[in-house]
Amino acid sequence: LGVALSLALPLAGVSAACSASEGAVGGAAPGSGTQGASGIGDPDFPEDGNGGYDVEHYGLKLSYDPASRRLSGSATVRARAVQDLTAFDLDLHGLTVSQVTVDGAAARFGRRDDELTISPVARIAKDARFDVTVDYAGVPDPIRNYANLGTYGFIATPDGSFVTCEPNGAKTWFPSNDHPSDKATYAFEITVPAGVTAIANGELAGTPATSDGRTTFVWRERHPMASYLATMTTGRFETRTGKSAAGTPVYAAVDPAFHGSLDTLYTKTGQITDYWSTVFGPYPFSSTGAVVDDYAAGYALENQTKPIYGGFTPDSGVMAHELAHQWFGDSVSITRWKDLWLNEGFATYAEWLWSEHEGGTTADTVFRNYYAKTADSMWSYPPGRAQRADLFNGSVYTRGAMTLHALRREIGDATFFALIKKWTASHQYGNATTEQFVGLAEQMSGKDLSGLFDAWLYQPRRPAAVI
């Protein structure tokens, strides 16, 4: 974090406080074509993310006080312009911005809905790298009841925060290009009252230091990460760290209410991570982990390197799902939300593979049992086109997984598992689309699979029986 932040320190002689102002949105001349778009181009989420630049790194230096629920600090966003820019947006929901600098010079900024529009004093040239520092504070307001998604984002808990951001809740705690198509590395420097643990993605840098009753945790995620996978979960936690049998560092943490779950959580996380490494390809990140908080979210989330379980002790099937997401969703990320089955269908299929691996129901039997449910609502929801109003529909999970099983039966085990490893290797740390998956499957099998994928992914009806 130190590097990113020091590069963005205001230049001597610039009086940021005097020249910055919270004024009207937009500094670009109308029609000049140098104002970055307010959305990254996802038709289902038109205001999510932003145009005109690509983020390379976020440096988040934040303090959180659970008693007052106040978050404060600064975010430094290092980006590369993909067009000339006289103004550009970051996504930010609520919170009060006190100052913005671009390459150390105070910049004008304005707020409209969840867009923070920044007008640097000098035009940024296409391809130039620039550092934006946003100083901000306030009581984070999570997203509630948006598109049938429950409560997500930065959620205050009695002892800290539960931070799960899929699909677009990163903007509730830091200014971001909040869309999975712009991945970046992260450094977190999180200060909390002594006795509180702050958990973010990646690995701890050094031992957390305490002074004046406050402890600072420095975490670094060196691999590109989608914004919705970033977390700063805080509170009272019991932790256990070590290495899996194959040597991957493991960080497990439980709220004291889940004291009895810690050892199993730790052990299973290492075992499942190691097993998936043999099935999906090498584990893509520098550590694995698990967090159980006592906030009853009703879901788990595959936060990169730190899957989080919201108020329940996960069974190994749920852990298998969240850890499979480290490959499918986290390392290989979707480009548009409509392709969400590439995350959820694969992670659900991983649950079936795990069940079979454990000597339980085989993947084939799970598939057949679902296929026999002729009246299930998933048949009317094509999983290859996740819908904005019902993004996490069960079809995206179950029928998505069934699509993979139908594919496996069509191309055979050897080609199917080679395809999966090739998929994770070719798009590691990047983004991909359904079309790319279909293309790779056809290339590796030498078969025309358009009928199979069309029936399973895109038709609002139950596909005809597969052999």
Segment 306 to 335, residues that bind ligand ARG, using CB under 6 A: 321-322
Q: Distance (Å, rounded) from C-alpha 380 to C-alpha 344?
A: 18
**Binding of ligand ARG by 392 (CB under 6 A):** yes
**Binding of ligand ARG by 152 (CB under 6 A):** yes
Site string for ligand ARG, 198-237 (x = CB under 6 A): ----------------------------------------
Which of the choices ligand ARG, Zn ion, none does residue 457 contact, using the CB cut-off of 5 to 8 A by kind?
none
User: Which CB, 165 or 347, lies closer to Zn ion?
Assistant: 347
Which of the choices Zn ion, ligand ARG, none does residue 332 contact, using the CB cut-off of 5 to 8 A by kind?
none
Pick from 150, 208, 249, 317: which binds ligand ARG (CB under 6 A)?
150
Which of the choices ligand ARG, Zn ion, none does residue 292 contact, using the CB cut-off of 5 to 8 A by kind?
none
Report the DSSP beta bridge partners of residue 234: 161, 198
Pick from 149, 308, 419, 438: which binds ligand ARG (CB under 6 A)?
149
Q: Whole-number minimum distance, CB 265 to Zn ion, in Å?
A: 18
Pick from 302, 330, 339, 351: which binds ligand ARG (CB under 6 A)?
302
**Binding of ligand ARG by 47 (CB under 6 A):** no
Q: Distance (Å, rounded) from C-alpha 298 to C-alpha 392?
A: 13
Q: Which amino acid is at 98?
A: S
Which of the choices Zn ion, ligand ARG, none does residue 301 contact, using the CB cut-off of 5 to 8 A by kind?
ligand ARG
**Binding of ligand ARG by 300 (CB under 6 A):** yes
Pull the structure tokens for residue 32.
């000049």
Which positions lie near Zn ion, rule CB under 5 A? Answer: 344, 347
Q: Long-range contacts: 10-18, Cβ < 8 Å, 24+?
A: 10/101, 10/104, 10/105, 10/106, 11/104, 11/105, 14/101, 14/104, 14/105, 14/106, 15/106, 16/99, 16/101, 16/105, 16/106, 17/99, 17/106, 18/106
Q: Which of 224, 219, 231 is nearest to 184 (CA)?
A: 224
In degrees and rounded to multiples of 5, residue 115 shows phi and psi of -110, 130
**Binding of ligand ARG by 10 (CB under 6 A):** no
Pull the structure tokens for residue 47.
């205001």
Which of the choices Zn ion, ligand ARG, none does residue 89 contact, using the CB cut-off of 5 to 8 A by kind?
none
User: Which CB, 49 or 52, lies closer to ligand ARG?
Assistant: 49
Cα separation values, 309 from 243, 265, 303, Å = 21, 11, 10
- Cβ neighbors of 368 (< 8 A, separation 6 or more) are none
If one counts every other C-beta atom within 10 angstroms of the C-beta of residue 405, the result is 23
CA-based angle 440:443:445, to the nearest 5? 105
Which of the choices Zn ion, ligand ARG, none does residue 379 contact, using the CB cut-off of 5 to 8 A by kind?
none
Mark the segment that binds ligand ARG (CB under 6 A) among 2-10, 190-198, 293-301, 431-439: 293-301
| 8-state DSSP, 440 | H
Mark the segment that binds ligand ARG (CB under 6 A) among 61-69, 148-156, 251-259, 399-407: 148-156
**Binding of ligand ARG by 114 (CB under 6 A):** no
Q: Distance (Å, rounded) from C-alpha 407 to C-alpha 401?
A: 10
Pick from 103, 166, 294, 351: which binds ligand ARG (CB under 6 A)?
166
The SS3 assignment for 138 reads strand
Mark the segment that binds ligand ARG (CB under 6 A) among 47-55, 115-123, 294-302, 330-338: 294-302
Question: Are 379 and 460 spatial neighbours (Cβ–Cβ below 8 Å)?
Answer: yes
Q: Whole-number minimum distance, CB 321 to Zn ion, in Å?
A: 5
In degrees and rounded to multiples of 5, residue 193 shows phi and psi of -60, 145
User: Which CB, 107 or 300, lies closer to ligand ARG?
Assistant: 300
Residue in the block written with tokens 């129901």: 361
User: Which CB, 190 or 297, lies closer to ligand ARG?
Assistant: 297
DSSP-assigned letters across all residues of 358-409: TTSS-HHHHHHHHHT-TT-GGGGS-TTS-BTTBTT-HHHHHHHHHHHHHHHH
Alpha helices by DSSP H, listed for 242-357, are 262-280, 316-324, 341-357
C-alpha Rg value of the chain to the nearest Å: 22
Q: Whole-number minimum distance, CB 325 to Zn ion, in Å?
A: 6
Pull the structure tokens for residue 400.
């998505």
Cα separation values, 433 from 177, 216, 416, Å = 19, 39, 18
User: Which CB, 328 or 423, lies closer to ligand ARG?
Assistant: 328
**Binding of ligand ARG by 301 (CB under 6 A):** yes
Q: Whole-number minimum distance, CB 344 to Zn ion, in Å?
A: 5
User: Which CB, 118 or 342, lies closer to ligand ARG?
Assistant: 342
Pairing of strands 184-193, 53-65: parallel
Q: Whole-number minimum distance, CB 216 to ligand ARG, in Å?
A: 29
**Binding of ligand ARG by 255 (CB under 6 A):** no
Total binding residues for ligand ARG by CB under 6 A?
A: 12
Which of the choices ligand ARG, Zn ion, none does residue 152 contact, using the CB cut-off of 5 to 8 A by kind?
ligand ARG
- Cβ neighbors of 28 (< 8 A, separation 6 or more) are 34, 35, 86, 87, 119
The residue ranges that bind ligand ARG (CB under 6 A) are: 149-150, 152, 166, 299-302, 321-322, 344, 392
